[in-house]
Amino acid sequence: MAWLRLQAAAAVLALTAIAGAAHGFEFHEATIDAIQLGFRNGSLTSTALVRFYLDQIGRLNPLLRAVIEVNPDALRQAACADAERGRGQPTGALHGVPVLLKDNIATRDALNTTAGSLALLGSVVRRDAGVAARLRRAGAVVLGKSNPSEWSEFRQVDNGWSARGGQTRNPYVLSSDPCGSSAGSGVAAAANMAAVTLGTDTDGSILCPSSFNSVVGIRPTLGLTSRAGVVPITPLQDTVG
């Protein structure tokens, strides 16, 4: 009889776990498709998603140094996205999705755009970079800026180091190379600090951190993504992905 009671209790716990999974949302490793499904079925809001990523950044970034700055307007943007969704007005596939941008991609907001350098701290850009403007039109939440190798390693520094952000560290092996000037974007994606991150690639700076930090990276063919408002190295090789 005791064994039957134990089996019954185990079955109840299993059903409870299944029910919780059905009505909850799994934040870790969430894809854009899963996020949009959560928005539609009511198990997720943009505000909850932004709070989760801000919590991840708060807990992990002092060690990993992948994020150079968070957007003080991120929660307000998330609340606006939730309100638009409530009125049946989503604006795109990235609507309400938090995105981190490498710190060489200009944003006309409360965030700095410095390429990791103290020399540009406090400077004000005239407009959003082309890719940032498209993200806003798609309804994305600009969560903050990821830590680059300073000047995208045009200044000779270690991979993932900047004067502003310090040394980005590989989340799987802290002593391992995070690789490439977009190391912060790669590490942030790997450590669940954002659903999506943007980086730039001149000579492997998207491909290398993607490989070393076990995430998927896409390096678009040269010219397929706008480079307007991105701190450059060379127009012959730079691409945003």
- Annotated catalytic residue 102: yes
C-alpha dihedral over 73, 76, 81, 85, to 10 degrees? Answer: 180
Asked if residues 150 and 114 have their Cβ atoms less than 8 Å apart, the reply is no
Q: Of these residues, 149, 152, 185, 205, which one is catalytic? A: 205
Asked if residues 102 and 148 have their Cβ atoms less than 8 Å apart, the reply is yes
**Cβ-based burial of 192 (10 A; exposed 0-12, middle 13-18, buried ≥19):** middle
- Annotated catalytic residue 205: yes
**Cβ-based burial of 129 (10 A; exposed 0-12, middle 13-18, buried ≥19):** buried
Report DSSP state, residue 81: H
Q: Of these residues, 102, 152, 185, 210, which one is catalytic? A: 102
Q: For residue 123, give the amino acid letter.
A: S
- Annotated catalytic residue 182: no
Q: Of these residues, 117, 146, 162, 181, which one is catalytic? A: 181
Q: How far apart are CA 97 and CA 73, in angstroms?
A: 14
Q: How far apart are CA 203 and CA 237, in angstroms?
A: 7
- As annotated, the active-site residues are 102, 181, 205
